Chains A and B, each alone.
Chain A
Amino acid sequence: MSELNPAEFDELILSRARLGIISALIGGDELEFTYLRNALELSDGNLSVQIRKLEESGYIKVKKVFVERKPRTFCRITNKGRKALVRLVKHLEDLVETD
């Protein structure tokens, strides 16, 4: 199989952790920090870093709300993030099909 050109891919979501976050958010509407941590089996620190990177790039929105008087962090994918994932999936599928 020919080597892929990394420049063709969105490096931001190519990392497994961030890919998992974005994919999970496409399926759900809003996902809470703890849910993502358990689903993706990441540590608190690692997940925080990944979420911050995605938020800074405009791929997700983060909001903090109180649920039963406890602060909770919810994430939601933006249109930019959705389009980025769709583009990446199409790209990967094309590459897998051509090999």
Chain B
Amino acid sequence: MEEKQLAEDLKFMRSMIERTHREIDPEAPVMIVWGLICMIGYPATQFLATPQLYKWMWPMWTILWVIGVSVTIYSGVKVARRERQSGLVSQLSKQIGWIWLILVVNGTIWTLMGLFKDYFGGPGFLWAAIYGFALSIMGILYSKEWLYGGIAIFIAILAAFVIKFHAYVVLGIVMGLGCIIPALIAQKRWRRLREQGERVESS
């Protein structure tokens, strides 16, 4: 066995591992929905945080939350079915699923707290931090665009402390874009990968 053969074997192994590790559907529609929820919910929170309008805070967030969770569950089931059909059930996909589950459970607890404790002011920043953290982890595990989205959210949190007056508007827009832009980039890359795979299969 020669060195060239060794190096080729290593390269071959790494390329196979990389291919099956990263070939997962980025679930862009789910990320876009959550991005829009942030872009609607956070700025709306800014304007509802008055004594006259505060009573609408909990209904608004509950409706947005139910929409987000429903889309997430529906998409999760659809992706799991699609993976079975395509023949590639990915470990990374499961890891990302766990991150989503933690986010959803966390958000559900915060929403329910609002029902019983009438408490929606403070958690907004904490929720943004958790969201940014989760996107960063996704970026590390899957693709760097999510990491940039997570970093942008952390910067927005700091900026929101400084700006204060329109803090939630800033947070909402950056959280939304931090989700939507990486989703569109990842979806475009995924489609290109699939087209290449289909061309190989048909040739």
Contact = CB atoms under 8 A, between A and B. Distances in A.
B21 interface: yes
Contacts of A72: 84, 87
B17 A31 contact: no
A3 B1 contact: yes
Nearest to A67: B84
Given A34-B87, A72-B87, A27 B12 contact: no
Nearest to B197: A38
B86 interface: yes
Name the residue among B16, B22, B84 with the largest chain A CB count within 10 angstroms: B16
Chain B interface size band reads 20 to 34
Contacts of A67: 84-85
Given A38-B197, A93-B10, 16 more contacts: A4-B1, A4-B6, A27-B19, A27-B20, A27-B21, A29-B90, A29-B93, A29-B94, A31-B87, A32-B88, A35-B87, A35-B88, A39-B19, A72-B84, A96-B3, A96-B10
Contact of A6 (B1, B6, B7, B88): B1
Interface of A: 1, 3-4, 6, 16, 19-20, 23-36, 38-40, 65, 67-68, 72, 74, 85, 89, 92-93, 95-96, 99
A29 B6 contact: no
Given A24-B20, A39-B16, A92 B6 contact: yes
Contacts, number: 89
Interface of B: 1-3, 6-7, 9-10, 12-14, 16-23, 84-91, 93-94, 197, 200-201
Contact of A31 (B20, B85, B201): B20
Ordered nearest first, which 9 A-B pairs have the shortest CB separation?
A32-B87, A35-B87, A27-B20, A27-B21, A28-B20, A23-B16, A30-B89, A27-B17, A29-B91
A28 B9 contact: no
Contacts of A85: 13
A8 B19 CA distance: 28
Contact of A28 (B1, B6, B10, B90): B90
A95 B6 contact: yes
A24 to B, nearest CB: 5
A98 to B, nearest CB: 10
Nearest to A1: B3
A31 B89 contact: yes
Contacts of A95: 3, 6
A67 B94 CA distance: 19
B10 A24 contact: no
A31 B86 CA distance: 9
Contacts of A3: 1
Contacts of B87: 31-36, 72, 74
B13 A28 contact: no
Given A1-B2, A16-B12, A38-B200, A28 B7 contact: no
